[in-house]
Amino acid sequence: MDTVETIAPAAVIVLAAGAGTRMRSRTPKVLHEIGGRSLLVHALTAAEGTSPAELVVVLRHERDRVAAHLAEHASEATVADQDEIPGTGRAVQCGLEQVAAADGTVLVTYGDVPLLDPATLRELVGAHESAGAAVTVLTARVEDPTGYGRILRSEDGSEVLGIVEHKDASDSQRSIDEINSGIYAFDLAVLRDALGRIGTDNAQGEMYLTDVLSVARADGRSVRAVVTEDVMMVEGVNDRVQLAQLGAEMNRRTLERHMRAGVTVVDPATTWIDADVTIAQDAVILPGVQLHGATEIGEEAVIGPDTTLRDTEVGAAAEVVRSHALLAVIGEGASVGPFSYLRAGTDLGATGKIGGFVETKNVSIGEGAKVPHLSYVGDAEIGEGTNIGAATIFANYDGVDKHRTTVGRHVRVGSDNVLVAPVTIGDGAATGAGTTVRKDIPPGALGVNAVSQRNVEGWTLRRRAGTAAEVAARAALEAEDRSAAQTPAATAAEEHKEHEQR
């Protein structure tokens, strides 16, 4: 498209009333997601990018459910309800009932066209205003226009004479490769008047929005078209196949945007990044990574391989390997993984470490502190420089309530500990291996509760008779007995005999 002056429309009407039966889903079509947003939110993002004075969304199917989603994500939008009269023309007419403006430009778009962007809509409005047109339709040229409405132009190509549906087109009209996207800029006054003059006297019994073009031309008004070179931008979602196709295309565009901004994506084919994710320059995304929601990745961080992060903040130069995180914060220079699970509320301080096979939840881990391996840490605060030994369990649940554990600064927790909350370990303290901590440990103290080891001789022979363990134990004991029988004198005699034989 040509660059034109940016003009804010008086209103944008987003049509989202359809049932979407081809999706074969209990979920309304416009609430299906790609790129971390619903189709409707993608549409609203494009609409809001034109800075309209009014934003109206027309609903019908699963009205309350969609309206609740709308209130959560675009509270400034006004809901209009389509009645039982079918057709896009009637949907727009219902939407206009919520528009207070008397003149200006109104955009009409759809809740199932997720790749449409604000820049394209702004250019459509600008071209419409510059031409002083009654209607301007956004079109595209496609290799196979089968099934689409064709754009009929005047001889000089400046005016749109009409739109003919594929089933009604002649052979020569079917050879036209310019198609109707269904996205329009209207003169608001013209649109109100024209919709009042069209009806449902057609084979489908619907109010067609395309009939507005015929009314405008009959009144001697100008109807124009603006061609987008990006066909995918005007593609709608009708079934799950198209949902997947447009999701893949959106992901490709998202990855390309990040790569051109200085992010290394090693394998785009196995990398999925949502639309709201932010990634700083020189970050590296390794194969098999999924970044969802409002995840933020800092400069020079390395993510992956095989890592999923949702709504997680990763600081500069941090590293996350083969792990999963949700609503977590990973500080600058920190490391996570492999095979760890950071649940909501995890806050890992700068240069800290959550190692292999560790699960954390609702925990603050101080700067330089480490939970290296095979541990569960829940509902806890761990001070800076502290080291949590392997196979340590923070026992935070008593069967009714959750309790919190506090571990101070520069503490050394031994391997195979159980910290039974609520409990506090003071700064500089330590615990022995195998300790169950049930009472607070003062700063600088050593907490131990292991008892002396006692061996019960012959237990397996008595209690596990007939098992492989009993056979192995008996054989080992007999070997020990034979070895004990080899006294020093007997050994010396054997050595003398061997010497005489040589």
Concatenating the DSSP letter of every residue in 205-242 gives ----TTHHHHHHHHTT--EEEEEES-GGGGPPP-SHHH
- Tell me the pLDDT band of 500, cut-offs 50, 70 and 90: low
Q: Tell me, what amino acid is at 348?
A: L
Q: Tell me, what amino acid is at 491?
A: T
- In 3-state terms, what secondary structure has residue 87? coil
* Alpha carbon distances (Å) from 346 to 142, 199, 377, 436: 50, 60, 10, 24
Tens digits of residue pLDDT in 422-442: 999 999 999 999 999 999 999
Q: Which pLDDT score, from 0 to 100, does residue 288 have?
A: 98
Tens digits of residue pLDDT in 188-243: 999 999 999 998 887 788 899 999 999 999 999 999 999 999 999 999 999 999 99
Tens digits of residue pLDDT in 305-352: 999 999 999 999 999 999 999 999 999 999 999 999 999 999 999 999
Q: Which pLDDT score, from 0 to 100, does residue 498 have?
A: 57
- Tell me the pLDDT band of 1, cut-offs 50, 70 and 90: very low
pLDDT at 2 over 50: no
Q: Hey, what's the torsion of the CAs at 457, 459, 461, 464, to 10 degrees? A: -160
pLDDT at 493 over 70: no
The CATH number for 11-138+182-228, chosen from 3.40.50.10800, 3.90.550.10, 3.40.50.1950, 2.130.10.10, is: 3.90.550.10
Q: What is the reported pTM?
A: 0.89
Tens digits of residue pLDDT in 71-100: 999 999 999 999 999 999 999 999 999 999
User: Comparing C-alpha atoms, which of 105, 96, 102, 176 is closest to residue 135?
Assistant: 105
Tens digits of residue pLDDT in 39-61: 999 999 999 999 999 999 999 99
- Tell me the pLDDT band of 7, cut-offs 50, 70 and 90: confident
Q: Pairing state of beta strands 105-110 and 178-187?
A: antiparallel
As a whole number, the mean pLDDT across the chain is: 94
pLDDT at 475 over 70: yes
* Mean pLDDT confidence for 377-398: 97
Phi/psi at 186 (nearest 5 deg)?
A: -120, 150
pLDDT at 489 over 80: no
- Tell me the pLDDT band of 501, cut-offs 50, 70 and 90: low
Q: Of all helices (H) and strands (E), which one includes residue 164?
A: strand 160-164
Question: What is the spatial distance between Cα 390 and Cα 379, in angstroms, rounded to a whole number?
Answer: 18
Q: Which pLDDT score, from 0 to 100, does residue 5 have?
A: 56
pLDDT at 294 over 90: yes
Catalytic residues: 373
* Alpha carbon distances (Å) from 153 to 150, 179, 226: 10, 11, 12
Residue identified by tokens 């047109």 is: 133
Q: Which pLDDT score, from 0 to 100, does residue 497 have?
A: 58
* Mean pLDDT confidence for 479-497: 70
Of 156-170, 270-284, 383-397, 479-493, the poorest mean pLDDT is in: 479-493
Q: Which pLDDT score, from 0 to 100, does residue 453 have?
A: 81
Number of H helices, E strands in the chain: 11, 39
Q: Which pLDDT score, from 0 to 100, does residue 204 have?
A: 80
* Mean pLDDT confidence for 295-308: 98
Express as a percent the part of the chain with pLDDT over 90: 90
The CATH number for 261-447, chosen from 3.40.630.10, 3.40.50.2020, 2.160.10.10, 3.40.50.10610, is: 2.160.10.10
Question: What is the spatial distance between Cα 41 and Cα 14, in angstroms, rounded to a whole number?
Answer: 11
